[in-house]
Amino acid sequence: MESRFKLKNSFSTGALCLVFVLAGNIILAQNKAEIAPAPPMGWNSWNCFRTNINEENIKSIADAMVSTGMKDAGYQYIVIDDGWMTNNRDKNGHIIVDTIKFPHGIKPVADYIHSLGLKFGIYSSPGCFTCQKLMGSLGHEQTDANDYSAWGVDYLKYDHCNYPKTAEEMKNTSEADCRAAFELMRDCLKKTGRPILYSVHDVCTRVNGENTREHALPWVRSVANMHRTSDDIKDNWDRMLYCLESTVDLWEYAGPGYWNDPDMLEVGNTTKERLWGGISPVKMVLHEYQTHFSMWCIVAAPLISGNDLRSMTPEITSILTNKEVIAVNQDPLGKQGRRIRDDGEPEVWAKELSGKKYAVALLNRSSSPVDITVNWKELGFKGKLKVRDLWLHKDLGKFSNSFTGKNIPGHVAMVILIN
């Protein structure tokens, strides 16, 4: 009798624990989904400024985010990347901000950004040093998280560099170590009580020279709101495609609360950047930028612009603020689009949307014009369906069984809405 009672008792304790664990997971999932219900949209300083950031240029970028219509189009975050800090801490363990760049510290910058109705993001590394050998968070995670919270940070980009101390040591980091480093900062952010979007770049799973970023899935989606899937993007057609490819097989992980991140946008980046690793120095041209933007929208990638918003041409502004294409990216169903057909250089990509709609990108990767067809049965549809061109903002009519984009120029993606 006693043992039956014990058994029953331990069953109910077990069941109770399970309920707590499940409830905990649900709460965790809810919090994550509240912070990033759709792919985050914003601007980051790295692609155009590298470490040449300061209070003035960040504030003027925030002004431009509003005056150019970017804010109205949905962009929210202004994120300061690497370079805002020195390589030292004060005697209480707080990171010393670079006061040549930010003479009043970080909080006034965050306050200014908030006063414009925008949100503010910052950058750090779980290692001793950031990628630019400035102060990282290792051993001071809670202090840093508390400072972020006190400054009004809404977004943290946590970039796995120099962990624990050098790039060389990082190559030998185990996956468990890496995971623990990212979980630690997640927990520290949580303890501050401030909702802070958590964007991570984990390169620590490159074990024995093998690129195993994918091995971090699925754990990383329970830790972060977005996770880099590629090495750094460059303003270059082939490099952009490499970043796009890095997300292709990861669609099942994406959804409200977690997004695959093939890196920030290069649309309209006019800076002369360093190129390395045999990448050709040829920058993208206007229609390639449009294709880059289209594909980031189709794969539900975070839309983090990286150009100088203060000097955008009207053509670049109209790419970055195309509300119909952005609506595809931000659709509440939260599905990442998939490549449904690969005919060599012509490809068909489809993103399921709410309301029984599909967005389709007819992507011509070649340099000469081609016709590309999407068949309704590939989407699970039949009959006559309406087609709208989201770049021309034009209804193209009703089509039975399929639609063919005719003469799609080289390096162009035609983006259509089908329902």
Nearer to ligand GAL, 130 or 260 (CB): 130
Helix (H) or strand (E) holding 260: strand 259-261
Helix (H, G, I), strand (E, B) or coil at 121: strand
Helix (H) or strand (E) holding 351: strand 346-353
Catalytic residue IDs: 159, 232
Under 8 Å between Cβ of 174 and 223: no
Nearer to ligand GAL, 128 or 417 (CB): 128
Nearer to ligand GAL, 296 or 376 (CB): 296
Min. distance of Cβ 245 from ligand GAL in angstroms? Answer: 17
Min. distance of Cβ 387 from ligand GAL in angstroms? Answer: 37
CB-based contacts of 42, cutoff 8 Å, min separation 6: 75, 76, 77, 78, 79, 119, 121, 155, 302, 303, 304, 305
Min. distance of Cβ 44 from ligand GAL in angstroms? Answer: 8
Q: Where are the alpha helices (DSSP H) in 135-256?
A: 141-151, 167-171, 175-192, 219-223, 237-245
DSSP-based helix, strand, coil % in the chain, nearest 5:
40, 25, 40
State how far the Cα of 41 lies from the Cα of 326, in Å rounded to an integer: 10
Min. distance of Cβ 250 from ligand GAL in angstroms? Answer: 18
Nearer to ligand GAL, 82 or 266 (CB): 82
Q: Which residue is nearest to ligand GAL (CB)?
A: 131
Min. distance of Cβ 121 from ligand GAL in angstroms? Answer: 12
Min. distance of Cβ 274 from ligand GAL in angstroms? Answer: 12
State how far the Cα of 270 lies from the Cα of 183, in Å rounded to an integer: 37
Nearer to ligand GAL, 185 or 360 (CB): 185
Helix (H) or strand (E) holding 111: helix 107-115
Tokens of 362: 């007819």
Nearer to ligand GAL, 161 or 244 (CB): 161
DSSP 42: E
Cα-based angle 75, 70, 202 (whole degrees, multiple of 5): 35
What Rg value do the Cα atoms of the chain yield, rounded? 23
Binding site for ligand GAL (CB under 6 A): 46, 81-82, 130-132, 159, 161, 201, 232
